[in-house]
Each structure stands twice: as structure tokens, then as C-alpha cells.
Amino acid sequence: MTGPLSETLGYKFRDESLLRRALTHAGADSEGSNERLEFLGDRVLALVVSENLYHRYPHEAEGALTRRVHALVRWEACARIGEQIGLWEHLVLTRSEAAGGRARGPILGSACEAVIAALYLDGGMEAARGFIEFERERRATIAASHLEIKGSLALGDFTLTGVADRIDILNDGGCAILDYKTGAIPTLKQVEQLLSPQLPLEAAMLAQGGFPGIGKRIAEDLIYLSLASEKLARAPRHIKDAAALAGEAVAQLARRIAWFQEQSTAYRPRVRPYRADIAGDYDHLSRVREWSPSGWSEE
């Protein structure tokens, strides 16, 4: 349950029990519920928002700043963020609560605050602030979000399948595809050279209507995000020229498929390595380490 949500958050919890508690509503487990975390998360959220407003409006008086905080730190805003990150599917609820209805919004809002508290307790203010500020900045531009959605792309007899972490439909009709990382984010060069082709290929799927319920759309932005540190959270990696990259990624994949359809083509463990010190996905099949007399240094 917590694994997929950790990937969506772009943060790997050291103590996953915090996230499990954050997702547990009082109706399902009164003793292990998220109510205490909700209390803390509300205060963490208020502090982050207050700090942001303090710097954004340096000449406003206390009263004006207080009114701004009260307008922003509301369960309705947290519920919208909860919807955007697909929080509802991960909650532990009673059968009647799971049916949704009028209670869905408040439950989502409370759970979102609890998740903020879990991030704060596990990773400090950096992790919590990174999540809050990224979602706050994007919220006004988004018409709808699709989380962990399966897609496909047919290339002759070959069908490429994948799962997009998140696709945002923007208010102007454009799209952005997001990939959450719990570790290192691919460099711009790695993506442009298609050493990390995941998001360009997802953009190709999107352009061909490969994601059910979204239709054919052009990705304007490809975004990698990690909450592993405040520094990473404050600097999501935006990949522009998504349409051009998508076209080149499909062309390269089509050439690769044709290449492997030739009987003389060998299945090499590393077609285009860029780090000799990192194990390849298929090294164990070709016994790369075993046949390397000095480890990785002579590969």
C-alpha cells in the first residue's frame, strides 16, 4: 500500500509506519488513526505557508498576513492536493467511508495534512516543505490529474506498455507528464540522449491516445521530481521539446525492434552503457562480473 504512494510522493520513508498511520482514518482504526498526525500536519502546513507569505509580502501587517494564512490553510485546499496525488486509493477506510459522498473531501483534506506530518517527522522540514511548495505552485494551473495510469503504444507487432506516475491536464489544454524519483533524477543530457527514455516514450503514448480516458494530447513538459531533500524538491527537472524527444524515442525504438528481429542480432547485456561501475539489468544472464578479471574496470 505505502510503496506506490512513496513513489508518487518522490520520497522513500525510513519509517513506513508513519505513512501507514497517516493513511488510516479513525473510523477504520481509532487507536492507530491519523488524527494526531493531522493535528501536526495542520501546524506544519501553516508554518510553511506563513513563512512563504512573510517573504512574499514584506510590507503587509500581521492582520493581513493572518487573513491570508486562514484563506490558504483549509481542508478544501488539502483535499484538492489529495485528489491530485491519488491519495484516496491508498486510504484505510470503513466500507461506508470508502463509498465517498460528502465526507470524501474532509477525509482527503485530513489525510493530506497527516501525510505532511509524516513527511515532516521522517524527513524533517525539508521534505514537508518540498511537497507543500511544489503542489501549491502547480495547483492553479491544473484542470485534472491522472495518477499511476497505464498506457500502451503499438509499433507493428510490438506493443510498448508502461505506467505514468502522473499526467496533469493543464488549464490551457496542454499536458505535463511527471515522474517521481526516490533517488537521483536523470540529468538533462541523459534524457536528451535518450539514455533515460521513459518520459519521452510516455509522451509518445500520450500523443497517440495510449492512455485511456485522456485522448490524444501533446505533452508540453516532462518533469522529474524528488523529495529526497529540500534542494531537490525546490529544483524539479523540466524537459522541454517533449514532442521532438517523443518522436525521436519512438524512431529509435522502432529501429531497435527491427534490429532484434534479425536472427543474427545478439542480445547484448549493455547496448549503450554510460556508467561502467553500475550493474546492468542483464549482467547476471551474461555473467559479466564473473568474466571480468578485474571487476568493472575493464568492461
Query: In sequence order, what DSSP letters do the residues of 249-293 get, joined into one string?
Result: HHHHHHHHHHHHTSTT----S-SS-S-TTS--TTHHHHTTTTT-T
Closest CA to 146 of 163, 124, 129: 163
CB-CB contact of 62 with 78 (8 Å): no
Residue owning grid cell 515532516: 120
Cα atoms in the 13 Å half-sphere on the side-chain side of 152: 7
Non-local (6+) Cβ contacts of 38 within 8 A are 110, 111, 113, 114, 117
Active site residues: 42, 113
Q: What grid cell was written down for 289?
A: 562480473
Sequence-distant (≥ 6) Cβ neighbours of residue 238 within 8 angstroms: 221, 222, 223
Report phi then psi at 175, rounded to 5.
-135, 155
